[in-house]
Chain A
Amino acid sequence: MLVIENLTKRYATGDLAIDGVTLSVPAGQVVGLIGPSGAGKSSLIRCVNRLVEPSEGAIRLGDADLAKLSRGALGQARRRMGMIFQEYALVDRLTVMENVLSGRLGYVGFWRSFLRRFPQGDIDRAFSVLERVGLTEHVDKRADALSGGQRQRVGIARALVQEPDLLLVDEPTASLDPKTSRQIMRLIVEICAERRLAAIVNIHDVALAQMFVQRIVGLRKGKVVFDGPPDGLTPEALTEIYGAEDWAATMRRVEDEDEASNAPATPVLALA
């Protein structure tokens, strides 16, 4: 369970990126965090694992207040939070396996990791998550030899091998095609259900978010302006989050896609 209380972040430049956000995410729940560019979505999830230092407020994961941890304790706490990035953030020149095993660095001493002598337990974990994301054939390929979808699967595997309690996901599908995007979102949501992980997923594609997550939080100028189930996202709510616009097209697309995914695949063939 993640509890964020009155979190505020003001950057050294003076930008108030997050303005008193209070939010709690129970284990097993996937929250879609939406909002216009610059609303503070990335800043919010980066405050949670302290890639960005929060200015004020408390962030509790279990008992610890992450916002107040010392440097040493922070390393320990970060092991419990897996992060997934838009541009995958893999180390290109390392292999898939090395990238995945890097998720265990918080558990392994320097020399073991430097010499790539990870404990057998870690290697077993790595193989099992690679199997889960469907990459067992590519173990020894270099990360830059993979497609975008495969790279994001490596990113997911790296986060999972940490055996986290929480996933922080920053626009996981923004660089992927529509079909791969859905596969990746589906994978993330299924894994969170299997392992009872709490997750915050930043996402620009509202329709995609509605399709997969159980709860949507809308952020505008650093403040939470919407918090509810996906079908509560009415045109009014979208206007509240993003500003005035004709939302009918967005809403219709959601309904169309729902129908399409329910319908059998054959009619497409029949048309062809």
Chain B
Amino acid sequence: MSAVPARRWSPPPLIASPLLRYALYGGVALYLVLALGTVEINWARISEGADRAVRLFAAFLQPDFTSRWGDIQSGLLESLTMTVTSTIVGVAISIPFGIGAARNIAPLPVYAFCRAFIAVSRSLQEVIVAILLVVLFGFGPFAGFLTLAFATIGFLAKLLAEDIEDIDPAPLEAIRATGAGWWQVLTYAVLPQVAPRLIGLSMYRVDINFRESAVIGIVGAGGIGATLNTAMDRYEFDSAAAVLLIIIGIVLACEYVSGFIRAKVQ
């Protein structure tokens, strides 16, 4: 057997023209250098911040649960109430919106309306919605509840609609072919196919809503976020650390429980 010379191969470059390729690399590098030059770095502030960072992290080693326990407890209770109620209400409303936004089962006008509503809900970040609703309804957990319910609808309705659009069309036709009405097709052919994921997503939304409740509290929508904000404003880093630890603990617990439930319904 005669030796066959090894044939070399390397993947083709993403940009074929070498000139353009190196021009782009050079351009990116230049931009980075110039951009970094425009960032004003205030070393005095950085050292001040570093000082505070040391205190903050020191506080984490000794979180203080007791001195502000009353505030923490009521904030926590508000946050949990907000989370549960907004998830339940949000899920309940997102189901009809999700069904309406699925092109394969909803008539066009309904589809257009539901999609538009979902788009609005999703384009507004929670914090912005919370600021608006705090202006409308005043400080406190009611504004937070509305914010989270609104965000839940956008999130869940969109995913549900996409899920419905992806279902196996064969059972849908088969149920239709038996003479079943629209609602029966929905409950026999569509819901069984999407129910497990709907339950899973709702559980997932519970922990998103709890985390968000901490964020929107900072802009005045009540809950544990408000407590955290107050503690920070007073430089009570040890109490703030306690709040953060509690938030982390609850989020972990939610995640564990929702993972467990999702595994069960598959």
Contacts and interface: CB of A to CB of B under 8 A. Distances in A.
A22 interface: no
Interface string A71-89: 0001111110111010111
Contact of A105 (B170, B188, B195): B188
Interface residues of A, number: 34
Given A85-B170, A105-B184, A91 B175 contact: yes
A107 B193 CA distance: 23
Given A76-B179, A77-B179, A162-B179, A110 B184 contact: yes
A104 B180 CA distance: 8
Nearest to A106: B179
Classify chain B's interface size. Answer: 20 to 34
B163 to A, nearest CB: 14
B67 interface: no
Contacts of B184: 105, 110, 113-114
Interface in B75-126: none
B166 interface: no
A75 B177 CA distance: 8
A63 B175 CA distance: 24
Contacts of A51: 173, 176-177
B180 A83 contact: no
Given A105-B188, A110-B184, A93 B195 contact: yes
A105 B188 CA distance: 9
B174 interface: yes
A163 to B, nearest CB: 11
B170 A94 contact: no
Contact of B188 (A79, A87, A91, A168): A91
B178 interface: yes
Given A87-B170, A89-B171, A110-B183, A94 B188 contact: yes
Given A51-B177, A162-B178, 13 more contacts: A51-B176, A75-B179, A75-B181, A77-B179, A83-B178, A85-B170, A88-B170, A91-B189, A92-B193, A106-B180, A113-B188, A114-B184, A168-B177
